[in-house]
Chains A and B, each alone.
Chain A
Amino acid sequence: MWDDILRFSLEHIVIVAISVGVAVAIALPVGVLVTRRERWRTVALGFASVMQTVPSLALFGFLLPIPFIGGIGKHTAIIALVLYALLPILRNTVTGIVGVDPAVRESAVAMGLTEFQLLTMVELPLAARTILGGIRIATVTTVGTATIGALIGAGGLGVLVLRGIEMVDPQEILAGAIPSAVLALAADGGLGWIERRLAA
């Protein structure tokens, strides 16, 4: 039992880490880009919002029959989780950068910062806390949603929950659910701590 919990917890963490990592790698640059291109902003945020409204079970179902990206296994679950995690990260990246004091941006440009320097020296540092907040929300949500991934053979703590449901064994359900909740709380606490450190 304890072996199972440990093994599936690790598997769960790997799935969440990869999903959030890929989501950050996509949403952060796209978020920066759409602050430069007002018209793309609506499209990008719209896409990410629609993705979030699709029920997770349905999204897994949609992805399954698609060649190459679909099918049974971790990768299909990860694709779905990435799509879910995009919105909070994208939205907070845009909010954080757009929220930089216009006077700070104006004086930065007037003093001869290049576009790249404006981004790396001013906008990203000042938006860091907001962006991290988005990553935190995405991570916590992903920990929860990842349990459903077990339905399509992704592994993780959802395996224990599903097994418990099939065997009508509340203890087995809890063996999956409690570690999942603990992981979510730990991610929330850890990232929240970093967030507050950035504020100081």
Chain B
Amino acid sequence: MTCRIGGQDVLRGFNLSIAEGETMVLLGRSGSGKTTILKLINGLLYPTSGAVLVDGAPTNKQDPIRLRRRIGYVIQETGLFPHFTVQRNVGLVPNLEGWPAERIDARVTELLDLLELPAEHFRARFPRELSGGQRQRVGIARALAADPRLLLFDEPFGALDPVTRAEAQRLFQRLSRQVRKTAVFVTHDVREALALGDRIALLRGGMLELVATPQDFRAAQTEEARAFLGSLD
């Protein structure tokens, strides 16, 4: 698959399969094409040549709205609606999908508890009344709300302070054990990649350099892998 934007190849000869239930980390420097892959998966972009298959069907043959509602999406800035309470933010996609109110309520309560944000405390608050870490967790709850099979994370913890970030990563690890979902996780932090990924796909200049389990990645000898591993100590 190739993706060209504005006459420039953002991704070239890219081929990657992500298995059901695994967490695939996309690791790479800024501009290596990581975020582009997420946008190709949920139909915000389409490949210039080749195809992106989600649930076996090419994205450009699927209704983008239906496709996106089946995919959870978490970004660094959270993108929570500032004029919505936590309850309405988390219940957004179920609401769009026409779930009955009681079912949305129950789902929101369940998710907030799962993300260690007691519903009775948090559901009526607005995003501006939350800390960065809490906002990010609401963002994850929102992505999980309609029980999508696939989740996309675009450097979700990049803006958090180191302590909150470590907490968020531990929460992510617990979640991925509890709710077995396919996840694609973009980061430029090799430590985060090693801690969270079932497999790590290393990108360099729009090309796939390496796909490996964290264990194999530590021993990888390619130039970019060594550069990233070198930043560990």
Q: Chain B nearest CB: distance from A195 CB in Å?
A: 15
B44 within 8 A of partner (CB): yes
Q: Interface residues of B toward A: which range?
A: 20 to 34
Do residues B44 and A109 form an inter-chain contact, with CB atoms below 8 A? Answer: yes
Asked if B92 contacts A111 (CB within 8 A), the reply is: yes
User: Of A101, A107, A121, A125, which one neighbours B73 at CB under 8 angstroms?
Assistant: A107
Interface flags for A110-121 (1: CB within 8 Å of B; 0: not) read 111110010001
Cβ–Cβ < 8 Å partners of A114 in chain B = 65
Tell me, yes or no, whether B96 is within 8 Å of chain A by CB: yes
Check A104 against B96 for contact (C-beta < 8 Å): no
Q: Which residues of A contact B142 (CB under 8 A)?
A: 111
**A38 at interface, CB cutoff 8 A:** no
A103 at the interface (CB under 8 A from B): yes
Q: How far is the CB of A115 from chain B (nearest CB, A)?
A: 10
Determine if B69 and A110 form an interchain contact, defined as CB atoms under 8 angstroms apart. no
Q: How far is the CA of A109 from the CA of B80 in the complex (A)?
A: 12
Report if A166 contacts B (CB, 8 A). Answer: no
- Given A103-B75, A107-B73, A117-B96; A112-B68 close (CB under 8 Å): yes
Q: Tell me the interface secondary structure of chain A in the complex.
A: helix
Chain A residue nearest to B145 (CB atoms) is A111
Q: Which residues of chain B from 68 to 85 have a CB within 8 Å of any chain A CB? A: 68-69, 71, 73, 75, 77-83
Nearest chain-A residue to B63 (Cβ)? A112
User: Which residues in B have their C-beta under 8 angstroms from that of A106?
Assistant: 75, 79
- Residues in A with CB closer than 8 Å to B24 are none
In the complex where A106-B75, A111-B93 touch, is A125 in contact with B83 (Cβ < 8 A)? Answer: yes
Residues of A114-137 at the interface with B, using a CB-CB cut-off of 8 Å, are 114, 117, 121-122, 125-126
Which residues of A have CB within 8 Å of B68? 109-112
Any B CB within 8 A of the CB of A151? no
Size category of the A interface is: 10 to 19
Q: Which of B135-162 contact A (CB under 8 A)?
A: 139, 142-143, 152
A interface with B by C-beta (< 8 Å): 101, 103-114, 117, 121-122, 125-126
Q: Please name 14 further chain A to chain B contacts, defined as beta carbons within 8 Å, in addition to the given A108-B81, A110-B79, sorted by A numbering.
A: A101-B77, A103-B77, A103-B78, A104-B82, A106-B75, A107-B79, A110-B42, A110-B44, A110-B71, A112-B66, A112-B93, A125-B83, A126-B82, A126-B83
B→A interface (CB under 8 Å): 42, 44, 64-69, 71, 73, 75, 77-83, 92-93, 96, 139, 142-143, 152
The answer on a CB contact under 8 Å between B69 and A112 is yes
Give the distance to chain A from B147, nearest Cβ to Cβ, in Å.
14
- Which residues of chain A have C-beta atoms less than 8 A from B44's C-beta? 109-110
Docked complex Cα distance between A125 and B81 (Å): 10
A-B contacts, 19 listed (Cβ < 8 Å): A103-B77, A103-B78, A104-B80, A106-B75, A107-B75, A107-B79, A107-B139, A108-B79, A109-B44, A110-B42, A110-B68, A110-B79, A111-B68, A111-B73, A111-B96, A111-B142, A112-B93, A113-B96, A117-B96
CA distance A107 to B143 in the complex (A): 10
Cβ–Cβ < 8 Å partners of A109 in chain B:
44, 68
Interface pair A104/B73, CB less than 8 Å apart: no
Q: In the complex, which of the residues B66, B73, B96 contacts A110, with contact meaning CB atoms closer than 8 Å?
A: B73
Residues of chain B with a CB closer than 8 A to A107's CB:
73, 75, 78-80, 139
A125–B88 alpha-carbon span in the complex (Å): 14
Closest B residue to A121 by CB, please name it.
B81
